[in-house]
Structure 1
Amino acid sequence: MERTTLFIWLAVLADGLAGLTGGLLSERWLKRHLAALVAFAAGALLGAVFLEILPEAVEAAGMGAFRWALASFLALTFVEWFLGPHHHDHSTHAPGHPHHHAEAMNAPTTVVPSLLAADALHNIGDGAAVAAAFLVSPQAGVATALAVIAHELPQEVGDYALLRAAGLSRARALLALGAVQLTAVAGAGAVLLGSRWVAGLEGIILALASGTFLYIGATDLLPELRHTPDQRTARGRLLGFLLGLALVATAGVLERHVLGAHG
């Protein structure tokens, strides 16, 4: 248990550091590679759902895992239908994107609290998913952590761009994002404590994460990849998507090989 807890906190730390990458990269680099990063995130999320997270959720919670996954998928669908698109629109937040220059550079300061609040809720869910996954199995934990980190990169780059557009300095934007990343600790801690009193909580959280990741990957990220301005961008997106899938698949194979060697 102590080893599992250590892995959980290391994964949460890695996720937090990934959320600060926006301030470390140049706008020129981001403009050139953000589409491939979004594709990479989509591949990692979908690969993690179908290869590791959902199968592990079914093993832990039985066939009821599919109902929990459907519930989270539908919940996000209804939220978008009635409240409008969420803030994880990578294409319009991306530095260098036309919408970014036309609109985001004049983003009002009122966007800051709502963006940070939404990001905090998202990170709580990420922390809970990572903790639940490691409690179920190391393979599920690694796959979930990779998927969360892969999604965090383009998402937080977009958030950083909006904070800068709203007038925050580089230091203040990074400080705000860093503070928000700490909410993942609350999510992970809640699952660690709750799993002691609620039987099967890990499987339920993992199933909910499956539906959430499936929604983000299939309806949020993949539609953005259909709009390809040129063949070079199309190849970059395809390569990014395949690398995301390959990363999760390879990590699962290596994890099972290591566990089998020590088993």
Structure 2
Amino acid sequence: MEPWLLLAAYSAMIIVVSLLGGSLPFLGRWTSNQLHMMTALSAGVFIGATFLILVPHAVEAMDIEQALMLVMVGFVAILLAEIIIQHRHQDECDDHTVEHSHSLTSTTAFIGLSVHSVMDGFALGVAVVLGEEIGTVVFLAILAHKAIDVFSLSTTFRLADIDKRRGLKYMLLFSLITPIAAAFAFPFIDWLEGIELGIPLALAGGTFMYVGIYDLLPEAFHEEHTQYKAFALVVLGIATMYGLSLVLHTAGH
């Protein structure tokens, strides 16, 4: 099959899976407590992805000191983005502190996952050009975590009290990032092949670390009487990503 046809098919499936996973938190009515429990699961997913997938793969692909430096750069970059966003919405924060906090969490989660989605798209575009077999492996790896990622992101939208129609528009936008990045990779295939794969992995690791630990964990443990449940769900999220890391390791070999 022609590479562009294969990429089109993969992109369509990524969009469908993204929209399905992202729509789940918008189905039915969720209590504040249930949303915070879903946030706990999402926090575990982000933390697990950081320490079990992104950072280890970055360290494998490049020098460990450079990889960890780029993780820190990703962490600081998302911190700066959050400061800028918070400063621009300071007036809203004065009157609606809780709502503003949830909105900030959803925004930083969107940024962090978008960085990772761009990286996924570049990897998919390069892989499809290199060969159908490696392209399929990379596609399956992306598809495996995409549904989990969008579910986590959509949960933060619900927590921020974003209405269903607007939330699904955001999810549609997010679902297009990886396919667009993959299509963009085609004309720049020679240049992209020369880039250290560890660079985008490490940067994404830093953004995921910030979102998971600084934004989502505090939300997960918002209610004192549900902290043990929240802890169990954080561990479940981490365990889920551990299982995914084993699947990706097997697929890579």
- TM norm structure 2: 0.69
The amino acid that maps onto 1:58 is V
Moved more, 142-151 or 72-81: 142-151
Helix, strand or coil at the partner of 1:210: helix
Residue of structure 2 in register with 1:197 after alignment: 191
Q: 1:195 to 1:239 in 2, by over 3 A?
A: farther
The amino acid that maps onto 1:47 is G
- TM norm structure 1: 0.67
Q: Report Cα offsets for 1:82-128 as digits up to 9, x if no partner.
A: 442799xxxx9xxxxx945xx99xxxxxx9xx999988766642421
Helix, strand or coil at the partner of 2:224: coil
**Structure 1 segments of 4+ aligned residues over 6 angstroms from their partners:** 114-120
For 2:39 and 2:109, the matched residues in 1 are separated by 17
The amino acid that maps onto 1:72 is G
Q: Do 1:48 and 1:248's aligned partners in 2 also have CA atoms closer than 8 Å? A: yes
The amino acid that maps onto 1:52 is I
Once the two structures are TM-superposed, the CA of residue 240 in structure 1 deviates from its matched residue by: 1.2
Once the two structures are TM-superposed, the CA of residue 22 in structure 1 deviates from its matched residue by: 4.0
Once the two structures are TM-superposed, the CA of residue 209 in structure 1 deviates from its matched residue by: 0.7
Q: Do 2:110 and 2:153's aligned partners in 1 also have CA atoms closer than 8 Å? A: no
Moved more, 65-74 or 138-147: 138-147
Structure 2 runs not aligned, ≥5 long? 128-133
For 2:47 and 2:167, the matched residues in 1 are separated by 29
Residue of structure 1 in register with 2:120 after alignment: 130
Residue of structure 2 in register with 1:167 after alignment: none
Asked if 1:70 is matched to 2:72, the reply is yes
Q: Do 2:41 and 2:237's aligned partners in 1 also have CA atoms closer than 8 Å? A: yes
Question: Which residue of 235, 241, 245 maps to 1:242?
Answer: 235
Once the two structures are TM-superposed, the CA of residue 152 in structure 1 deviates from its matched residue by: 1.4
Structure 1 runs not aligned, ≥5 long? 93-97, 105-110, 165-169
Q: Report Cα offsets for 1:165-187 as digits up to 9, x if no partner.
A: xxxxx5x4355335423442334
Count of residues in Structure 1 that have an aligned counterpart in Structure 2: 229
More helix by share: 2
Residue of structure 2 in register with 1:107 after alignment: none
Residue of structure 1 in register with 2:131 after alignment: none
Q: Report Cα offsets for 1:126-184 as digits up to 9, x if no partner.
A: 4213335665975964675366234313123235x33x3xxxxx5x4355335423442
- Give aligned-pair identity as a percent: 22
Q: Report Cα offsets for 1:191-245 as digits up to 9, x if no partner.
A: 5654542312533211111111011011111122343331xx2232112111101
For 1:86 and 1:75, the matched residues in 2 are separated by 17
For 1:122 and 1:51, the matched residues in 2 are separated by 17
RMSD of equivalent CA atoms = 4.1
For 2:145 and 2:81, the matched residues in 1 are separated by 23
Q: Do 2:40 and 2:221's aligned partners in 1 also have CA atoms closer than 8 Å? A: no
For 1:34 and 1:143, the matched residues in 2 are separated by 23
Asked if 1:39 is matched to 2:35, the reply is no
Residue of structure 2 in register with 1:207 after alignment: 202
Once the two structures are TM-superposed, the CA of residue 188 in structure 1 deviates from its matched residue by: 4.3
